[in-house]
Structure 1
Amino acid sequence: MKLQCDVEVVSRMLPTFGMRSRGKGARAVLSIGKHPDKSNQRAGVYMMICTAKDRAGSKYKLRDNIEKFFTWFVEEGKATVRLKEPAVDICLSKADANSLKNFLSAARLADRGSDTSSLPLSTLTPVRARDVENPKKKLTIVFKKDYPLTSNFPYSLEQLQVSYCKLSRVDMRMLSLKALRKLDLSNNHIKKLPSTIGDLGCLAELILHNNHLESFSEALCLSTLQRTLQHLDLSQNRLQGLPSQFCQLRELVNLKLDDNRLAWLPFHIGRLGKLKFLSAAHNQLALLPSDFRKLSLENLDLFGNPFTQPNPLDHTIQLKFPLPLQELASRAVVNLRIPYGPHLIPAHLCKDLEVAKTCDCSRVCVRFFIKTAVSMNLHQVSSTVVLVDDMGGTDAPVQQHFCSISCYSQFLDNCLQRGIR
């Protein structure tokens, strides 16, 4: 039984002499195996710790010698083994969680004096220098011939780039890299993303530039990426739209959507409160969602979209007189901020409430409204704006909703007065 991890051996006698441990582990290989006991010439089970400075290894007896296991953070690859003699704590970190559990289980059996035939014992021999090197944090593969077919990716990777390898799908071996912070799969042929990407609990940067993606699933938007993802590059794909749940990725700072087939942006894009860089050039956007006004960006690029000059008189009326009871109740729930959820009301009503529109009067409308478009200078939402068109403009059409005819009439009156002035 062997385990690769960071190890710090801390003497519990240090405080007696007014000393402290250095608090930093060294890369090591731990082994559990037999070693002749010179006192009675029988084989005992020992734990051996080999480091770069001590490749021959230090050995510690296990039988009846473990005072306690500290395993509160074993799922994070951390644990501590407290020995009776010598009085030391063996602190383990940066280990694979499953391998660590198996190693601790073997150590526990050895401490209890279990039959050695039932233990996964190793030969206690010095290790090679490469076995105790610091774990690899970054790996870049840009040639198909270098792509590993039989071996796994180093579990310690924090940054992985696999480009120009003609991948048609995401390799499931990548999804076991729990320390991964940056995944770059640009310039491949990936058509679909597995929802298990959302299980990468540290992933802050996901680059999928120049692939064949046709959708971004709702499951990814509702995964742990909500708390970790800060940079997302979906440029040069085949996306026609993004789900409304996309705006649950509220840690996003940088979003690239260039060169797709997007006909619309997510309705509640204004909920991306941390978004600072947005690029959606060369898509099929005819107008922007009304929630776009809530953004506060540093850089915005919408060049090459088929925006047209809006006319407030061109409108769509979706109203009934009187308003249906369901509409009145839905408006009341949102206006009064009454809590709701699928455990209280039917799920389809929850979806309606999630896309409630805000009128000029600050009240909301759900299914019944008047819709038009107005022109907005994009400098209202971004410090730097790339020109919207070849004419040097920075204005774009934004959706506008009205909860009633009176609100729409007042809006037209205001437009007329501004025109007269």
Structure 2
Amino acid sequence: MSTATTLPEPTASKRPQLAHLTAVLDDLRAKGTFFRLRVLDDQQAPVCHYDGREVINLASNNYLGLCNHPKLIEAALEATRTLGVGSGAVRTIAGTMKIHMELEEKIAAFKGVEACVVFQSGFTANAGTVSSILGKEDFILSDELNHASIIDGARLSRAKIKVFRHKDVAHAEELLKEVQNEPGRKLIITDGVFSMDGDIGPIPALCDLADKYGAIMMVDDAHASGVLGRNGRGSVSHFGCTDRVDIQVGTLSKAIGALGGYVCGSRDLIDYLYHRARPFLFSTSHPPSVAATCMAAFDLLEAEPERIDRLWANAKYFQDQLRSAGFNIGGITTPATETPITPIIIGDGRATMDFSRALFDQGLMATGIAFPTVAEGKGRIRCIMTSEHTKPQIDKALEILTATAKKTGVGLA
């Protein structure tokens, strides 16, 4: 006989302490930018089911289709069978398993650097690294469109933050000149690929500045990992700057298809992060299944470069067709995409979210992005092409986009 206690049904709280949160949500609803999470019912794939509806999926970061690749699935299952479902501790106490070290060694060899440390996410890799290597006497020069994890890491470091105009190397140098004689270290940091516009950072020119002024050079390669460079080694490889970039951050959650982030660089940098990076020190390490999955993914990048070729071919076709149809996918007042990230610029936040919902109703998952993720007036539908989309799927997506734009009067120039 069951002895389980029956809990009362939850009721709406009458306490006023969090009323300010309700006010913010009410404001989002008034502006038309409030959203509810869409729920994926099956695998992350070019065509899948969200909220029970079959849709063509242009919203995921699964660039190379590795989220459900059979070799990655088998690697995860085998690691689980032999090593269990969890590590049981943080890395510095009892949670460093041999498979974690093997993954870090594989990534370091792949990136052509001395060492690597894996974090629980790309966000913690950025935030944990920036906040630990600098202090209040130091300076950070950061692109104005850098990812939120870089911004948060900079704030946590308590360093003095100088923001240069997007990809404006001359402005970055002006700021460096202002502080070159100040005590403290200087860090230049940029995204390799900017996640909202899809453009590529000016890494060689920023490396020149770092060399000229003795600054630390750091690149966040989250959206370049598996996409740019030889076999997907990233934007630093793409520009041949591996020996000029002191800190490379990457992700295991996008093209790699699993979960986590990593930092690559010198042996001393990684040993220092082992001792001082707070997300590393105070978070339980990855389950063995995740580490095994990631290693299998890096093997596939080496063995199947044609996946990256397909990704770029699909992206070019999709973007060419969008331009021909009259969609604004960047340029003039907005950075032009240079990667498979394809923003359809709408502008108004409410119009952006309404357009995204209309697309979903017609069978296309293409997420609306509005303030505060992007600046006010810069709302867009962010589409991401993958290597696994077929031409008929892409053509159907284009058909839905064009028909919906004409019906709603939104999206087309």
Which category describes the TM-score, using the shorter chain as reference length?
under 0.3
Larger radius of gyration: 1
Structure with the larger helix share = 2
Task: Name the structure where strand makes up a greater proportion of residues.
Answer: 1
Q: Structure 2 length normalisation: TM-score?
A: 0.19
